[in-house]
Amino acid sequence: MSSEDEIRSKRTTSTKWMKYSNDVLPAWIADMDLGVAPAIADDLHQRIDHGDLGYPCADLETKFIDAFSDRYIEKFNTPLDPDLGMVSTDVVQSIVISLLTMTEPGDGVIVQTPIYPPFLNSVEHTGRRLLENPLVKVNASWEINFDELETLASDPRARLLLLCSPHNPTGRVFTQTELVKVADICARHKVLVVSDEIHCDIVYTPNYHIPFASISPEFASNVITMNSATKSFNIAGLKCSVVHFGSAELKAKYERYDAPVRGSITSLSLIAATTAWQRGGSWLQSTLTTLENNRTMLDEFIRSNDFGIEYLPPQGTYLGWLDFRGTKAAVAPEEYLVREARVALSPGSDFGKPGVGWARLNFATQPEILEEIFHRMSSAFK
């Protein structure tokens, strides 16, 4: 089989592979081409073979929430009361419901751009006001502009900070010092923090993830934590996530959107996500090794390129945030790359104004595919 045929044979029916024509290599949406943990596949097969596809019992939800809170203790030394957790279809839905229930139309929502596009869309679609606190590139790091954050938080109608930690697309993994500063500013100005920690497992040493809810016991009641096994365990199509509230009051407020409006999830999703968190550890570890090697490949590609792409290696996530402004593809680089390289990246402009001239490259694929992506990009720029 030629390598082109081999690559084609790896296509799945996911939107990642189906959106573009067959000859385009996808490096856009955050799905991995690295399979799923055997424990997840086994458990799903068992349920299907048993014809066990009825409405899920409440116990499946309880087990899922328990698996989440056990994991936060074991992995991050952070106690999160399972009684304050709730199952949700997906993180983006939880963000929207949080905006609708925790804020009023016209209230200010702080977002640290460039940012995962649904953060921006959900603020716009709910009629809230975007307060942008762009990360700034200082020396070789993406930094929070704390002075600006303080100013934005002091807006009398600033109500909520949508924190992305680890941060998509820059891959920043925020330190304790940074998170304490954010918590301090938000607490002083009574700004609620919604912390999306979906990328918490994909973190490269020496960096490590710190849950926002662990910052201080006083502040923990002012946080809504969102997470999901779907990103780290490559099961995004199954849909299943958790929202954890810092207090019973916050949970009660969120529940104003009652269960039928919030929607429900399938038994297969609950089983897959619970298994991922309980028994997916060794698969995740080996996947992390692959991702770290891929990140090194990306570093080497960027360092050796002489066509002007700039980037800072991500501390977490499997996403490279690439600056094309110094290249001949400075305007809409993603369009140039599909046209000239037959490679699909995510358009940086979707991540807010600071993303214009940038594109996001998902390197969670097999090394031979990544090599082919780099080869095609190099040819397109020569």
Ligand X SMILES: Cc1ncc(COP(=O)(O)O)c(C=O)c1O
- What are the residues binding ligand X (CB under 6 A)? 30, 90-92, 116, 164, 168, 196, 198, 228, 230-231, 236, 241
Q: How far is CA 230 from the centre of its chain?
A: 10
Is the CB of 7 or the CB of 265 nearer to ligand X? 265
Is the CB of 196 or the CB of 201 nearer to ligand X? 196
Token pair of 213, please?
């809810």
- The position carrying tokens 């990009």 is 377
Show Cβ contacts of residue 212 under 8 Å, excluding neighbours closer than 6 positions: 163, 165, 179, 182, 183, 193, 195, 197, 223, 225
Please report how close the Cβ of residue 121 comes to ligand X at its closest, in angstroms: 12
Please report how close the Cβ of residue 180 comes to ligand X at its closest, in angstroms: 22
| Residue number with the smallest Cβ distance to ligand X | 90
Please report how close the Cβ of residue 156 comes to ligand X at its closest, in angstroms: 28
Is the CB of 288 or the CB of 330 nearer to ligand X? 288
Is the CB of 69 or the CB of 346 nearer to ligand X? 346
> One-letter amino acid identity for 126?
T
Please report how close the Cβ of residue 166 comes to ligand X at its closest, in angstroms: 8
Please report how close the Cβ of residue 292 comes to ligand X at its closest, in angstroms: 19
Q: What order do you get walking across the sheet with 129-132 strand by strand?
A: 85-88, 241-245, 223-227, 192-196, 158-164, 108-111, 129-132
- DSSP 8-state secondary structure symbol assigned to residue 326: T
CA distance 135 to 142: 6
Is the CB of 110 or the CB of 236 nearer to ligand X? 236
Please report how close the Cβ of residue 165 comes to ligand X at its closest, in angstroms: 9
Is the CB of 63 or the CB of 172 nearer to ligand X? 172
Q: Which residues of 330-368 are buried (b: 16+ CB within 10 A; e: fewer)?
A: eebbbebbbeebbbbbbbbbbbbebbbbbbbbbbbbbee
89: three-class secondary structure by DSSP: coil
CA distance 190 to 193: 9
